[in-house]
Amino acid sequence: MVSTHPTGVQHAGSQYLPQRRSTNAQNNVNFSPNQELLPSTAKVNSQDILEIGGCDVTTLVQQFGSPLYILDEETLRLACQQYRDTFKQYYQGESQVLYASKAWNCLAVCAIAASEGLGIDIVSGGELYTALSAGVSPDKLYLHGNNKSREELTFAIQSNVTIVVDNWQELRTLVEIAEKASPIRIMLRLTPGIECHTHEYIRTGHLDSKFGFDPNDLDEVFTFVSQQPGLNCVGLHAHIGSQIFERQPHRDLAAVMVQWLQKAANYGLAITELNVGGGLGIRYTESDDPPSIEEWVKAICEVIQEACAAQNLPLPKLLCEPGRSLIATACVTAYTIGSSKVVPEIRTYVSVDGGMSDNPRPITYQSVYRSVVANKMSAPCTETVTIAGKHCESGDIIIKNAQLPQTESGDILVIMGTGAYNYSMASNYNRLPRPAAVVVANGEANLILRRETYQDLIRQDCLPERLNVQK
């Protein structure tokens, strides 16, 4: 429910608070983190300040500085539990949820996901190294990528993780490596040719995609793989995109994948796993209406089970790899407001101490976010402003036409839903150090990523002696 001022003016913060709260997904199946704007623990305290995980956001900024990523552990765990438990509820066979860690790969996030029984979807040697360092079991690690290096493939093989093969070059490279190794556990990524209504840069399932084998090559691929004793092909994989609200494309994908499963059997391939990818969207704005985690899982389970029954096929182990819908809502970014500029009859700019280096999604994908002023949660919205970053780039705009209370330098601005593709895509543009991150739970905050220093910025720089002007 939207909170309003006695005059009818909308309040700044209370409208975004979670409307349904639960610390146990089984006790409240109607609550789905991906359908909320703020983390499940978000509330306004008696000082009119936003709290997350029992921690005062303004106090966190005082302690850890800003910009600051604030990860709510309860929300992340709740999303993990909902995926895990609803698959167990609706799927009669074995299942495994994988966290698509490209959304945010760091030791703490991988450890939390693994502690809830999730595996990890990785897309590079660096993500593999991080997941292993976090203690994730290799048998729950799946390596993706459309151009894996030989070094990355060797690292994955030595680590005993499953490799999701993307193309012919990779397949032939693995055959060469397999001559010196025991059978390599692989899955095959196929392009299903299913369109979704999402940003073109995050559509990965249509035929014109850099990812996966073309379905017209299925016979040739299955024939080749069946003749390779060094390859143990255990599964098929497909992914149709990201930030998807429609359920039908995922149902279509599930049906197509069972057809592939049946076709693979004709070539003697004992396929036991199907990975339907991820892509469930989240609520970034009030108008966004994504399906719940339960609705998404139920739809896929029903189609897989119906299709397998119709074809008289045993149920495969069913995998999925959500990223954004697990982590995005669990995190917010806190900034400190600095300067402002009024352009008469055009707009008012309010600038913060971060921007495109800690959140490149607005300038890259034209992504839209919502914001609140953490220290003025009940103040009425009286200003329409453009929230600008501090970078030397005209396009460094976080939100256009944000509705905020009257702001001043020193206020703490919070951007919601920043857990996915913010830190993981962060840069040092303009040589800004990357922000710190904390995980909050039960009133306690723990650092999970240190703030970079100026010394960190030049750590990998090399200055040839002949260029040293100080000598």
pLDDT tens digit sequence for 362-389: 999 999 999 999 999 999 999 999 999 9
The answer to whether position 184 is within a domain reads yes
3-state secondary structure of 66: coil
Average pLDDT over residues 128-154: 97
The answer to whether position 304 is within a domain reads yes
The answer to whether position 43 is within a domain reads no
The answer to whether position 377 is within a domain reads no
CATH value at residue 79: 3.20.20.10
**Given phi > 0 = left and psi -120 to 50 = alpha, else beta, which region is 406?**
beta
The answer to whether position 144 is within a domain reads yes
What band does 11 get if pLDDT is binned at 50, 70 and 90? low
* Number of Cβ within a 10 Å radius of residue 65: 14
**Catalytic, out of 110, 308, 320, 392:** 392
The answer to whether position 449 is within a domain reads no
Closest listed residue to residue 126, CA positions, set 97, 146, 149: 149
* Number of Cβ within a 10 Å radius of residue 287: 7
Domain hosting residue 305, numbered range: 73-327
The answer to whether position 191 is within a domain reads yes
pLDDT tens digit sequence for 216-274: 889 999 999 999 999 999 999 998 877 877 778 777 888 888 889 989 999 999 899 99
Look up the pTM and report it. 0.92
The answer to whether position 323 is within a domain reads yes
- Does the active-site annotation cover 392? yes
pLDDT tens digit sequence for 288-301: 999 999 999 999 99
Helix 73-90 × helix 107-115 angle, to 10°: 40
Helix 125-133 × helix 107-115 angle, to 10°: 60
Number of separate domains in the chain: 1
